[in-house]
Amino acid sequence: MHNGTTVTQFIIEEQRHIAGATGDFTSLLNDIVTACKVISNMVNHGALVGVLGSAGSENVQGETQKKLDVLANDVFIRSNEWAGHLAAMASEEMDEIYPISKQYTRGKYLLTFDPLDGSSNIDVNVSVGTIFSILRCPGGSEAPTERDFLQAGTQQVAAGYALYGPSSMMVLTTGNGVNGFTLDQNIGEFILTHPKMEIPADTQEFAINASNMRFWESPVRRYVDECLAGKEGPRGKDFNMRWIASMVAEVHRILTRGGVFMYPMDAKMKDKGQGGKLRLLYEANPMSFIVEQAGGGSITGAQRIMELQPEQLHQRVPVILGSRNEVERIQGYHLEGG
Ligand code: AHG
Ligand code: MN
Ligand code: MN
Ligand code: MN
């Protein structure tokens, strides 16, 4: 049996080295960890507890909500609203920000989250996850507004994801590298199993939804064409391809063995006036923080994602992330214009 470091012990140990740390942050992370354990338990039990299928509603982005999208959102709110660490929360599944009720104390942090990522996979029993990001509340804790959330990704205090796969995992960064923990179901604790995760700088694997190929812009088309040309093409090597349609699972694969993940800008999105598919504040920014802390890169195409100034709570952006040398190459293609 594993008698290793729990995620809570790990966070306490990390916070000991930060001057002025009050324990507030440790306690907030602990509540997030608890929420992820509850969601993990619901995902594991699936049809046995009646949580699969559609909720019959739509979120602010016009996506059909699954029952588990809504349930996981509720779990996150209930776990994190009572302890006094947060001023407000924002989620994929809530149109507006969620200020902490005055019945609890308001704290100095903001929490954004994607309660269930990859929810189109839930009914077919393929891996899903949860993504979160912690920010400081710049306007103070008394009357948090949407504007308080509109901070560049470089301002994040911490980010992480839980992956509900063959085993459940929690992967975290507080700006001091990336560490992975595996849930031991018997004792109900996430145990440090993947210390100091690092993304290999080179790869022969890429991930993109190729059904959108006809809509891609020329830099992405060029990159993928060159990968597909294999040994005989300009890259001089064969590539492999994966598409899980759960960003958490794709990022986890990239953290484990390298690769590139792309949900790029395309002509179809442009026609609809959308900035991309993935959401900046609770998908792109936290994943970018994790990927950069593991030595990888994360861009929209020409720009670093974490330097974007957000304009809206549910803003969407193109995302290209993963092994550093490949991401730099793709950025170069964008800067050259094709
Ligand atoms: P969510 O389930 O939270 O709405 O996010 C789904 C995202 C992401 O996880 C995945 O990479 C992408 O959407 C899949 O999109 P396609 O179905 O277009 O491939
Ligand atoms: Mn969704
Ligand atoms: Mn998502
Ligand atoms: Mn989601």
Q: What is the pLDDT of residue 3?
A: 74
Q: Do 40 and 164 lie in a common domain?
A: yes
200 assigned to some structural domain: no
Determine which residue's CA is closest to atom 17 belonging to ligand 1: 245
Residue 338 or 237, more confident: 237
Tens digits of per-residue pLDDT, 156-209? 999 999 999 999 999 999 999 999 999 999 999 999 999 999 999 999 999 999
Q: Do 244 and 142 lie in a common domain?
A: no
Determine which residue's CA is closest to atom 15 belonging to ligand 1: 245
Tens digits of per-residue pLDDT, 242-269? 999 999 999 999 999 999 999 999 999 9
> 194, 225, 244 — which closes off a domain?
194
Tens digits of per-residue pLDDT, 6-57? 999 999 998 887 777 788 899 999 999 999 999 999 999 999 999 999 999 9
2 assigned to some structural domain: no
Q: What is the pLDDT of residue 54?
A: 95
Mean pLDDT, residues 59-84 taken together:
96
Q: Do 103 and 218 lie in a common domain?
A: no
Whole-number Å distance, alpha carbon 237 to ligand 2 midpoint, is 36
Q: Do 145 and 76 lie in a common domain?
A: yes
117 assigned to some structural domain: yes
Q: Do 57 and 117 lie in a common domain?
A: yes
Q: Do 276 and 183 lie in a common domain?
A: no
ipTM, interface predicted TM-score of the complex: 0.95
Q: Do 61 and 119 lie in a common domain?
A: yes
Q: Is 217 in the pocket of ligand 1 (CB under 6 A)?
A: no
292 assigned to some structural domain: yes
Q: Do 232 and 307 lie in a common domain?
A: yes
Q: Which residues belong to the annotated binding site for Mg(2+)? A: 92, 114, 116-117, 283
Whole-number Å distance, alpha carbon 141 to ligand 4 midpoint, is 27
CATH number at residue 222: 3.40.190.80
Mean pLDDT, residues 141-148 taken together:
92
Query: How many folded domains does the chain comprise?
Result: 2
Q: How confident is the model at residue 1 (pLDDT cuts 50, 70, 90)?
A: low
Q: What is the pLDDT of residue 17?
A: 79
Mean pLDDT, residues 206-234 taken together:
98
170 assigned to some structural domain: yes
Determine which residue's CA is closest to atom 6 belonging to ligand 1: 118
Determine which residue's CA is closest to atom 11 belonging to ligand 1: 247
Q: How confident is the model at residue 154 (pLDDT cuts 50, 70, 90)?
A: very high
44 assigned to some structural domain: yes
100 assigned to some structural domain: yes
Tens digits of per-residue pLDDT, 316-331? 999 999 999 999 999 9
Whole-number Å distance, alpha carbon 85 to ligand 2 midpoint, is 27
Buried b / exposed e over 97-119, threshold 16 CB at 10 Å, is bbbbeeeeebbbbbbbbbbbbbb
Domain that holds residue 309: 205-336
* Phi, psi (deg, nearest 5) at residue 288: -65, -40
Q: Do 258 and 180 lie in a common domain?
A: no
Q: Is 129 in the pocket of ligand 1 (CB under 6 A)?
A: no
Cβ(168)–Cβ(162) under 8 Å? yes
Q: How many CB atoms lie within 10 A of CB 63?
A: 14
CATH number at residue 74: 3.30.540.10
306 assigned to some structural domain: yes
Buried b / exposed e over 121-159, threshold 16 CB at 10 Å, is bbeeeebbbbbbbbbebeeebeebeeebbbbbbeebbbb
Q: Do 158 and 209 lie in a common domain?
A: no
Ligand 1 atom having least distance to the Cα of 277: 13
> 164, 194, 224 — which closes off a domain?
194
Q: Is 209 in the pocket of ligand 1 (CB under 6 A)?
A: yes
Tens digits of per-residue pLDDT, 92-144? 999 999 999 989 999 999 999 999 999 999 999 999 999 999 999 998 788 99
Q: Do 95 and 116 lie in a common domain?
A: yes
Q: Do 122 and 245 lie in a common domain?
A: no
Q: How many CB atoms lie within 10 A of CB 337?
A: 9
Q: Which residues belong to the annotated binding site? A: 92, 114, 116-120, 209, 277, 283
Q: How far apart are CA 218 and CA 113, in angstroms?
A: 32
Q: What is the pLDDT of residue 2?
A: 57
Whole-number Å distance, alpha carbon 245 to ligand 1 midpoint, is 5
> 171, 194, 217 — which closes off a domain?
194
